[in-house]
């Protein structure tokens, strides 16, 4: 049925034109919307906002990846750009892409694409949709960026391919694959001054001796740091411990590929202790000053309040060519356990001695993904697939997130047409999702259940009027069901130091996203720009309550989950201009406007950004290169949100620098952020009431390939 729908949508486009081989399509450095990735040795493309492709050759062992619509804007981070961001979080690495910022809660960060994050942004790692406790602003993506070979952000609604929740976009994390040709690897060491924070990662891969077609791979990474700081002192209890490991076994033949892998990510993160205030008087004082009185000294250890998380992912992938069809099957199992400790220990000394977490969640998820590609010859291409998920959450300790079971299934189909200078596609999808929740009310256990059924569609178009210019446009719909937290949260969310109240009457969000973009690449100019608008019906967000609340655990700001119509719109731009042979100008920026149904700004939405800099490039050889230059970033002032507990953040100017050198097989990156040690607050930070963002930070990354 879905194939018939998409065929009728596009049939008129194919009349009277001839097919074009793939090799005749333009090979733009920004043309990331291909559904294939070659296995070849070639320099990776340069990202436009101040990064350069590495001089060393890199083997791209990609597999056929589920692409977005040809009309959607995709931006990739790889090579030098990705290496320079080692030692930080995944969200910090992605900030190099215009339109992507970090949703920061103290020193915890998660990516936000065009103003949307968490359950409106799908994260796909090595083909598996990551499922963790993503409902909290301080719950970062459970993935180590040191494993990634390439990060891709698909901006705009992608619900047809990825299902419900992809109304803000998709983040695709591609780890390094197995090397079947010979033994290879990479070591990376990182040091950051703010903390300080140090880390190291190792990736090894190669064929199995005397076993043709078999290869293995593995990674190991560790990172640790002490309390972060700002211009006027220490951000107490912001120390970090983090690590990950993974193992991969792969067999390839002409018609069959089998891959099994397992990865583990763990983190122990402190939560800003100065955000927990004992009484209403001190809270009002803290909100007025922007920080409560705190005499804490710098510490290396993680103290209370804190959170520990461990995320396990197992994958089994089968890819087969049978009778002119390519079949891809992917099964996954995930286990996510998150434990959170409040600032104060229990009054009962026997309970305090046990040191049990106040919140303890165990989330287990099983997924499957089946895709069929008939390998049609000619201009027309068609793909179809099904996806399913079963998820269960159980808690111990204080009841903030109830026990729930979620099950979903969906089917999708995409039909595309490729011509000499243009391409178009159309897709349709149908999903069904159930949510069962069990809550304890007094002596009773109350069961709440709901079922949602919703379609999605996507239309995309791409035109290449010349070899160096690409124009795109897309129109897509999507949806997202309310989470268990948005429905039934009731009490202290200690990670953001706030009281939150859910609403069981909330309905599913429905979105329509329109996007247009252009890319121009020449020897002296690379520029990419996009404009977009997103209307979300029944948009769910936290609205500040009239007054804060006093509890037995202290005094906290209070928020309630509400829904309204939301309009989000914006523009993104990045450019690299070659001034002379040894000097380039780089710039990137984004604008964002978010309004509710009453034309009021929405709380905790980030402001726009503008970055600019110069690169001095005295050396550009194939195996040796060097560049360095200053950076400046402007963050405009934020509009006041009705009933907010503190004034809107003012504008900020941040100075930085970047330098990168390659002396094959070595690479070295040096970065400086907020070199003037400015005090500034991020409007998306849930803890901006109590502390500013981190201050001056210098980082060094050293890497060796073999």
Cis preceding-peptide flag for 118 (omega within 30 of 0): no
> Bigger pLDDT: 562 or 443?
562
**Helix intervals (H) in 220-367:** 280-289, 349-354
Residue whose pair of structure tokens reads 């356990």 in the numeric block? 337
pLDDT reported for residue 76? 82
**573 pairs with which residues across the strands?**
529, 589
pLDDT higher than threshold 70 for residue 572: yes
pLDDT higher than threshold 50 for residue 12: no
Assign 470 a pLDDT band (cuts: 50, 70, 90): very high
pLDDT reported for residue 291? 67
In percent, the amount of the chain with pLDDT more than 90 equals: 46
Question: b or e along 429-439 (b: 16 or more beta carbons within 10 Å of the residue's beta carbon)?
Answer: bebebebbbeb
Assign 61 a pLDDT band (cuts: 50, 70, 90): very low
**pLDDT for 324-335, tens place per residue?**
899 999 999 999
pLDDT reported for residue 548? 85
Number of domains in the chain: 1
pLDDT reported for residue 407? 94
Assign 315 a pLDDT band (cuts: 50, 70, 90): very high
How far apart CA 540 and CA 386 sit, in angstroms, is 28
Which range of residues forms the domain containing residue 587? 2-705
Q: For the residues 460-477, what does the mean pLDDT come to?
A: 93
Assign 366 a pLDDT band (cuts: 50, 70, 90): very high
Q: Give the mean pLDDT of the chain.
A: 83
Residue 592, domain CATH: 2.40.170.20
Assign 137 a pLDDT band (cuts: 50, 70, 90): low
> What is the CB neighbour count within 10 angstroms for residue 594?
24
Assign 5 a pLDDT band (cuts: 50, 70, 90): very low
Assign 41 a pLDDT band (cuts: 50, 70, 90): very low
Assign 86 a pLDDT band (cuts: 50, 70, 90): confident
pTM of the full predicted structure?
A: 0.84
Q: For the residues 233-255, what does the mean pLDDT come to?
A: 91
**pLDDT for 45-60, tens place per residue?**
333 333 333 333 333 3
How far apart CA 473 and CA 72 sit, in angstroms, is 7
Q: For the residues 71-86, what does the mean pLDDT come to?
A: 79
Assign 35 a pLDDT band (cuts: 50, 70, 90): very low
Q: For the residues 340-367, what does the mean pLDDT come to?
A: 82
pLDDT higher than threshold 90 for residue 210: no
pLDDT higher than threshold 70 for residue 20: no
Q: Which residues contact 370 (CB under 8 A, 6 or more apart)?
A: 327, 328, 329, 330, 385, 386, 387
H-helix or E-strand containing 358? none
Q: For the residues 100-106, what does the mean pLDDT come to?
A: 73
């Amino acid at each position: 049925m879905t194939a018939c729908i998409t065929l009728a949508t596009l049939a008129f486009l194919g009349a009277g034109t001839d097919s074009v081989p793939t090799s005749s399509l333009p090979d733009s450095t920004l043309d990331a919307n291909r559904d294939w990735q070659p296995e070849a040795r070639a320099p990776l493309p340069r990202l436009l906002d101040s990064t350069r492709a590495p001089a060393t050759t890199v083997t791209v062992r990609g597999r056929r990846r589920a692409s977005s619509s040809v009309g959607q804007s995709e931006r990739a981070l790889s090579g030098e750009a990705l290496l320079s961001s080692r030692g930080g979080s995944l969200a910090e690495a992605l900030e190099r892409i215009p339109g992507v910022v970090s949703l920061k809660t103290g020193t915890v960060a998660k990516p936000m694409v065009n103003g949307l994050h968490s359950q409106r942004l799908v994260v796909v790692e090595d083909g598996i949709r990551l499922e963790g406790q993503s409902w909290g602003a301080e719950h970062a993506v459970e993935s180590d960026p040191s494993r990634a070979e390439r990060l891709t952000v698909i901006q705009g609604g992608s619900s047809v391919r990825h299902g419900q929740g992809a109304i803000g976009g998709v983040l695709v994390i591609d780890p390094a694959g197995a090397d079947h040709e010979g033994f290879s690897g990479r070591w990376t060491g990182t040091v950051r001054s703010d903390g300080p924070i140090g880390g190291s990662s190792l990736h090894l891969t190669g064929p199995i001796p005397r076993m043709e077609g078999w290869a293995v791979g593995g990674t190991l990474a560790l990172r640790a740091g002490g309390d972060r700081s700002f211009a006027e002192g220490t951000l107490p209890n912001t120390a970090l411990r983090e690590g990950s490991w993974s193992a991969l076994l792969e067999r390839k033949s002409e018609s069959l590929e089998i891959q099994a892998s397992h990865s583990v990510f763990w983190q122990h993160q402190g939560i800003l202790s100065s955000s927990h205030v004992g009484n209403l008087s001190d809270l009002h004082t803290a909100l007025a000053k922007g920080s409560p009185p705190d005499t804490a000294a710098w510490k290396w250890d993680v103290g209370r309040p804190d959170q520990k998380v461990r995320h396990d992912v197992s994958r089994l992938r089968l890819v087969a060519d049978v009778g002119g069809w390519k079949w891809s099957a992917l099964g996954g199992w995930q286990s996510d356990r998150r434990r959170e400790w409040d600032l104060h220990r229990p009054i009962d000394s026997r309970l305090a001695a046990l040191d049990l977490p106040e919140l303890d969640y165990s989330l287990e998820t099983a997924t499957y993904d089946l895709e069929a590609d008939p390998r049609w010859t000619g201009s027309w291409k068609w793909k179809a697939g099904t996806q399913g998920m079963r998820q269960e959450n159980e808690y111990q300790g204080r009841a903030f997130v109830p026990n729930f079971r979620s099950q979903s299934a969906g089917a999708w189909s995409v039909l595309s047409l490729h011509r000499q200078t243009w391409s178009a596609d159309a897709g349709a999808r149908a999903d069904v999702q159930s949510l069962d929740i069990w809550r304890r009310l007094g002596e009773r256990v109350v069961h709440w259940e709901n079922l949602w059924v919703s379609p999605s569609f996507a239309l995309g178009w791409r035109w290449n009027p010349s070899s160096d210019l690409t124009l795109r446009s897309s129109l897509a719909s999507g949806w997202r069901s309310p989470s268990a937290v948005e429905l039934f949260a009731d009490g202290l969310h200690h990670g953001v130091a706030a009281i939150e109240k859910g609403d069981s009457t909330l309905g599913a969000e429905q979105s329509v996203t329109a996007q247009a973009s252009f890319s121009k690449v020449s020897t002296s100019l690379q520029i990419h720009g996009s404009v977009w608008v997103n209307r979300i019906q029944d948009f769910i967000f936290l609205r500040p309550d009239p007054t804060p609340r006093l509890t037995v655990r202290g005094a906290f700001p209070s928020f309630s989950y509400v829904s309204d119509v939301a309009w989000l719109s914006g523009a993104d731009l990045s450019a690299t201009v070659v001034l002379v042979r040894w000097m380039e100008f780089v710039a990137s920026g984004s604008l964002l406007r978010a309004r509710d149904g009453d034309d009021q700004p929405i709380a905790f939405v980030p402001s726009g950004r503008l970055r600019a800099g110069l690169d001095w490039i005295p050396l550009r050889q194939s195996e040796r290169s060097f560049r360095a230059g200053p950076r400046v970033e402007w963050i405009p002032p934020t509009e006041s949100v009705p009933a907010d507990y503190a004034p809107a953040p003012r504008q900020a100017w941040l100075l930085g620098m970047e330098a990168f050198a390659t002396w094959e097989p070595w690479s070295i990156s040096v970065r400086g952020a907020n070199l003037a040690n400015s005090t500034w607050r991020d409007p998306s930070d849930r803890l901006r009431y109590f502390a500013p963002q981190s201050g001056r930070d210098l980082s060094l990354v050293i890497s060796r390939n073999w």
